[in-house]
Structure 1
Amino acid sequence: MVAKSLKKMGALTLIAGSFSVLALPAQAAGYPNHSIRVIVPFAPGGSTDIVARIVSQRMSEILGQPLVIENKGGAGGAIGATEAARAKPDGYTLSIATVSTMAVNPACRPKDLTYKPLTDFMPVTNFANVPNVIEVNPKFPAKNFKEFVAVLKKNPGKYSFGSSGTCGVLHLFGEAFKMATGTQIVHVPYKGSGPAVTDAVGGQIEILFDNMPSSMPQIQAGRLRAMAIAWPQRLSELKDVPTLAEEGYPQLNQPAWYGLLAVKGTPPEIIDTLYKAASKALKDPKVVAALQKQGAEPSGNTPAEFGKEIKEQYDWAHDVVAKGHIEMK
């Protein structure tokens, strides 16, 4: 009797195991069958949020299920990235990757992070590349980049610059600018680019290091003045604004990117489904136009290519922090 019972239990275990093996592909085959949560690790209104909403809206139509944006700002994107890393690897919680979350945060405060950017996530695709921009409130006493640097050198510590958060890529952009130009300006961190832009327009801060999408409307309206951009060439929308390479600072001429991540362990079939939907969305003329209107250029590269981009930026950020002896407290 005991032998028969054990034999029966073994057979049931084998059957259960077979079902568990089959469950994952079956789940992937029916994916998605309900809404997908997309964590944006910055406040509403910033560049990350803008790009994510433009692309995810079209992806929702392609996938037949809503992609619901959830903003989780703070700590240079670390709060949102941490929550995303803890999600189930079922494709129903995704997140937006930025240079801040995947490279700068790990470089400048590795002991504070509870997620590992290179191992806790699976890259899907890079949505878009965007220029970084240095801009000022129109009352700032400089009309161009050379005057801007000259004013800062004559007034060390007098002016303040805003960024999307402590230890974010724009904070590091500002610190790299200080090192390259030999200037001293005071950092004021915000919980995302949106509130930083608002304060720059209002004059609470004089200088802003930002990504182009969140600042473009204010620049075009004359409420902020662009001094220089980090981009391979001048933008057609801002023909009078030079690149940092033109101004003699090629080491600062680094654009930013925003991409889609899934959680480690997500089935490859789901990754492929998301990649194909994103790639199709990024070829849609309306999506391309909407991104370019914000100063962003669509990418849509493969998961492997995006993973390589992440690793390159990860290494770059560590190199900058080490050489600059930067400590984020």
Structure 2
Amino acid sequence: MSIRPFTAAIAIVMLAAPLTASLAQADFPSKPIRLIVPFPPGGTTDVVARAVADPLGKILGQPVVVENRSGAAGRIGTEYVIRAPADGYTLGIATVSSHAVTPVVYSDISYNVERDLAPITRLASVPNVLTVSKSLKVDDLSSFIKAVQAHPGRYTYGSAGSGSEANMMGELFKLTTKTDMLHVPYKGSAPALQDALGGQITAVFDNLPSSLPYILSGDLQALAVAAPERVSSIPNVPTFKEAGVPELNDASWFGLVAPAGTPPEIVEQIYQATKQALATQEVKTRLGGFSAVPVGNRPEAFAAQLKEEIEKQRATAKRANIVLH
């Protein structure tokens, strides 16, 4: 007889738990949401995050606060999101570098982005570009390839760092065109561009936004862009596909993720709000200012793209024998 009240109490608690969770989801969001950027302020990733954060917060009815947690090729910020409570109040920006390249080139990764994160949507696509120093007298991509092929090991290319998307792009370029260039890694694209301006390195693989001012000023020569079509700000620069190297024609992308286990209802709510934010003229204008194109695809579509990108980068890393520690 004495067991019955205890049993009844347990039953009440068990029934109340799902109800409490449902009420919490129904009230979402009831406090500010943190958006973790795994790179420093000022870069393309940070700019994309801040372009979306304010309009998204207005739609959700709570502020979306951008936090930069950079370091270790994006691992610090990515791990922070993975370890956060799966309640929708901590989101992260995913990039090709941090969520597709880093997981396949570093041997000591303790997480799996496909298992430990819930994709929400692809926010935007941004063209990549190959620029060369003005001191290099070439007319187009074809003549550059011929020059590098004729002098193996003489020419150099700079990137934002070992294991970055730009590094992988450079290695894929070498594999595809059967050329041999020395990789010079930098701490970000800015110093690489400065050395290209000074003629210390031959070429730079980069996101277009950071290279664009130097292209428009004529200080660097753009040979090709990685994008579905030519970019309006530099209409005379062909895509890699047009220039005969279609393997390099994939644009960079930036996405939105949550910790794995985030309730599907909350993921859907954030997705719908983000899609609405991306459709606003405010966001279109801000993203268009640096040649970014808003996307806003469904979570399952972004998950498939993330998986495809990881496999692509894994194949390149294997062919180029890139293993970092």
Settle same-fold status: TM greater than 0.5.
yes
How far apart are the structure 2 equivalents of 1:214 and 1:69? 21
Call closer, same or farther: CA 1:88–1:221 in 2, change over 3 Å. farther
Give 2:298's match in structure 1, choosing from 296, 302, 305. Answer: 302
Q: Verify: 1:257 aligned to 2:266, yes or no.
A: no
Matches within 5 A, 1:230-245: 230-245=226-241
Aligned counterpart, 2:121: 125
Q: Verify: 1:214 aligned to 2:202, yes or no.
A: no
Structure 1 residues 230-280: Cα deviation after superposition (integer angstroms, max 9, x where no partner) = 112211211111111122111111112111001101111211121111100
Give 2:47's match in structure 1, choosing from 50, 53, 56. Answer: 50
Aligned counterpart, 1:96: 93
Q: How far off is 1:320 after superposition?
A: 2.5
Call closer, same or farther: CA 1:16–1:117 in 2, change over 3 Å. same
Q: Verify: 1:71 aligned to 2:74, yes or no.
A: no
How far apart are the structure 2 equivalents of 1:293 and 1:182? 35
How far apart are the structure 2 equivalents of 1:320 and 1:15? 55
- Aligned to 1:69, what secondary structure does the other structure show? strand
Identity %: 42
Call closer, same or farther: CA 1:264–1:198 in 2, change over 3 Å. farther
Q: How far off is 1:88 after superposition?
A: 1.1
- Contact in 2 for aligned 1:122/1:261 (Cα 8 Å): yes
How far apart are the structure 2 equivalents of 1:267 and 1:25? 10
How far apart are the structure 2 equivalents of 1:223 and 1:167? 27
- Contact in 1 for aligned 2:119/2:299 (Cα 8 Å): yes
Q: How far off is 1:195 after superposition?
A: 5.3
Aligned counterpart, 2:311: 315
- Contact in 1 for aligned 2:169/2:205 (Cα 8 Å): yes
Call closer, same or farther: CA 1:49–1:201 in 2, change over 3 Å. farther
- Contact in 1 for aligned 2:33/2:89 (Cα 8 Å): yes
Aligned counterpart, 2:102: 105
Q: How far off is 1:18 after superposition?
A: 2.6
Call closer, same or farther: CA 1:253–1:118 in 2, change over 3 Å. same
- Tell me, which stretches of 5 or more residues in structure 2 are unaligned? none
Call closer, same or farther: CA 1:325–1:10 in 2, change over 3 Å. same
Q: How far off is 1:310 after superposition?
A: 1.0
How far apart are the structure 2 equivalents of 1:201 and 1:57? 36
Call closer, same or farther: CA 1:154–1:101 in 2, change over 3 Å. same
Q: How far off is 1:205 after superposition?
A: 4.5
Call closer, same or farther: CA 1:53–1:153 in 2, change over 3 Å. same
Structure 1 residues 116-139: Cα deviation after superposition (integer angstroms, max 9, x where no partner) = 011101111100112111113444
RMSD over aligned Cα atoms = 2.3
Q: How far off is 1:169 after superposition?
A: 1.9
Amino acid at match of 1:7: R
How far apart are the structure 2 equivalents of 1:148 and 1:43? 33
Aligned counterpart, 1:291: 287
Call closer, same or farther: CA 1:80–1:199 in 2, change over 3 Å. farther
How far apart are the structure 2 equivalents of 1:84 and 1:306? 18
Q: How far off is 1:217 after superposition?
A: 3.3
- Contact in 2 for aligned 1:47/1:212 (Cα 8 Å): no
Aligned counterpart, 2:30: 33
